[in-house]
Structure 1
């Protein structure tokens, strides 16, 4: 038996429900005080949240490797530096970059590093006399360190990177002429910047202008990039996702404009 067909002017059950909802919304709108927003629509409730904007390090027009840029951006975006100034040392490029607490590059400079390639300090190296450190043990360790200003055994003010391993940042010392440390710093290539026992040698003027003030009243972070290991192995930093890289590229393009 066929069901009766409703008359055109007779509301169906669904039409009655719809009319009732609309009447309720209209009544609620009349009861709400002026300035109070009404109920959100379904499209407003279900709208996806916009992705959080990436915070990028500001390197300006500095010449820097992709690893250096990726690491600096990761530090800025993750807040790993705990709102402190920080230094990043690119061992492959033999170059040091100083950033303020807002991840803005202050300046950069070539540096001298340990003559032995590698990313780890030999266990117990800090207890050895300089004369007893073998050539293959003269590495500048990679990693994340809380730098702190202090004095070395000769009374010189330095910034300790890894105190236990006796690794510090200090002014370059041109004591042994045949080592040509000043000439190595001035050369255009990083190939001859491996000469120290593991410490980071910095040009005197740069140390006095940037390193000493940065570490004079507070501690700051020091990140030494690896030359044999990966950023992920040393710091847990992964390569950016495609969407993240695209947003970062757009952000940088805006900065350039």
Structure 2
């Protein structure tokens, strides 16, 4: 489930009884007051994997994000993490990624129609990407991670909502591999977290690998030996 921090809970309280009110007849159905709503308990932040924590520490220590917001897509954990330009963690949630394991895009895949993309080609390529908003098919606005290979970050398409929503809410990781390569994220994560922070100047997306060594995907990590920051969102 998506978490946007700090979380706010609304508390509805019934009106206080008047001290001097005499005994009343049993309330009719129309006169009954709704019971108070229990205060929602904020869920703890999703844990960063060792690889995600290492990438985040490197980005924050070196300013690799150039002061822009950034997202870490942790494919092995089927999770996404959003950070603002200062490196403060803003939100996290589950993600749906490419059906096939793999860290490279098939050459020319961006020019193929969906029905011509084979199962083995449905990968979400790993790497560091400068991402900006743009139009996709049907004039739908998406965050383009890699336009050349048609990889974008967006919410679940309406046509696949029922199935993909179940997969996103499932505690399992394997069933989160279902897309053609795009990254599907929860609606709140996208609209409340990503959109306002990437709208003007864009930002960076770091997609962690399935199979390649982390240093092969992010070569500058070889020279970075910093201590990963605590995986606690800013309050």
Fold similarity call, TM over 0.5: yes
Give distance in 1, aligned partners of 2:116 and 2:145: 21
Aligned residue number for residue 70 of structure 1:
54
SS of equivalent to 1:175: helix
Structure 2 gap ranges (5+): 1-43, 231-235
Does the CA-based 8 Å contact 1:121-1:139 persist in structure 2? Answer: yes
The aligned residue for residue 114 of structure 1 is: 98
Matching residue of 1:105: 89
Structure with bigger RCO (C-alpha 8 Å, 6+ apart):
2
Residue segments in structure 1 that go unaligned for 5+ positions in a row: 1-59, 253-257
Q: Is the 8 A contact 1:231 1:238 kept in 2?
A: no
The offset of 1:219, in angstroms, is 1.3
CA contact (8 A) 1:113 1:194 kept: yes
> 2:79 maps to what in 1?
95
Greater helix content: 1
Offset at residue 190 of structure 1 (A): 1.2
Aligned residues between the structures: 187
**Mapped contact 2:58–2:224 kept (Cα < 8 A):** no
Q: What per-residue deviation string (whole Å, max 9, x for no partner) do you get for residues 47-95 of structure 1?
A: xxxxxxxxxxxxx954110000011000111111111111110000011
User: Which structure: larger Rg?
Assistant: 1
Structure 1 residue ranges, 4+ long, deviating more than 2 angstroms after superposition: 238-241
1:232 aligned to 2:215?
Answer: yes
Shift of 1:174: 4.3
Query: Residue 131 in 1 paired to residue 115 in 2?
Result: yes
Q: Residue 196 of structure 1 corresponds to which residue in structure 2?
A: 179
Distance 2:192 2:131 in 1: 17
Compute the TM-score of the two structures, normalised by the length of structure 1: 0.69
Residue 172 (structure 1) aligned with residue 156 (structure 2): yes
CA deviation after TM superposition for structure 1 residue 240, in Å:
5.7
> Shift of the alpha carbon at 1:188?
1.0
Q: When the two structures are superposed, what TM-score results if normalisation uses the length of structure 2?
A: 0.75
1:33-44 to 2 correspondences below 5 Å: none
